[in-house]
Chain A
């Protein structure tokens, strides 16, 4: 079984540009989560999809971030326009069922550097 896959693994962009991160969850996993770690800080929740619907987007920092999950399969996270403080590692995770007793599987992350 393939794990959670994230593309690209690294991205370096200039301030003001647009970047799109992609996450392919484990097949059959309805729940998809985005997290990020900015430099020196703890890993923070961004949002949660159940199939194609946004269940919780309370962690999205501002309206420069747009997440989609068309068809309930892969998800994209677009940052437009990127700012310096957006630099960090973005993680995607998926789980078959949601809930408190659920194991989540994480991807390797996308390291975003905004210069």
Chain B
């Protein structure tokens, strides 16, 4: 149902970049790619989203493949606070319903 595939976990050193891959080979032309993260004991938090072009905001960058079948979330300098589960989600529903998968657990070591 989630329609995306992510690695179960990734590790990074503090202040190093983190590249989180996501495969979504069944994406359709109107589906948006969203990323959310969930820190321990908190609700999910919006990170970034895009449709076709690469996107940047204060939290991260989103690189979308030309064929849109995959994307990569880039955390430019990981901090300990970035340790969380990151979810790559396709929004296919016209009302914005989110379908969460298992996500990628990011571990940041000092």
On A, residues with C-beta under 8 Å from B are 4, 31, 33, 35, 42-45, 48, 50, 55-56, 91, 93, 95, 98-109
Contacts A106-B44, A109-B43; A100 near B93 (Cβ below 8 A)? yes
Size of interface on B: residues with Cβ below 8 Å to A? 24
Q: Which 9 A-B pairs have the closest CB atoms?
A: A106-B43, A43-B100, A100-B32, A98-B95, A100-B91, A102-B96, A103-B46, A98-B96, A106-B44
9 further A-B pairs in the complex, CB-CB below 8 A; given A31-B96, A50-B95: A42-B2, A43-B100, A44-B100, A45-B98, A48-B95, A93-B98, A98-B95, A101-B91, A104-B98
Main secondary structure, interface of B, reads: loop
25 residue pairs from A and B, CB less than 8 Å apart: A31-B96, A33-B97, A42-B2, A43-B44, A43-B98, A44-B100, A45-B97, A45-B99, A48-B97, A50-B95, A91-B44, A93-B98, A99-B96, A100-B96, A101-B49, A101-B91, A102-B96, A103-B46, A104-B46, A104-B98, A106-B44, A107-B43, A108-B41, A108-B42, A109-B42
Q: Which B residue's beta carbon lies closest to that of A59?
A: B97
Tell yes or no: B51 within 8 A of A by CB: yes
Tell yes or no: B30 within 8 A of A by CB: yes
Q: How far is the CB of B59 from chain A (nearest CB, A)?
A: 12
Q: Is the CB of A95 within 8 A of B96?
A: yes
Q: Is the CB of A101 within 8 A of B97?
A: no
On B, residues with C-beta under 8 Å from A are 2, 30-32, 41-46, 49, 51, 91-102
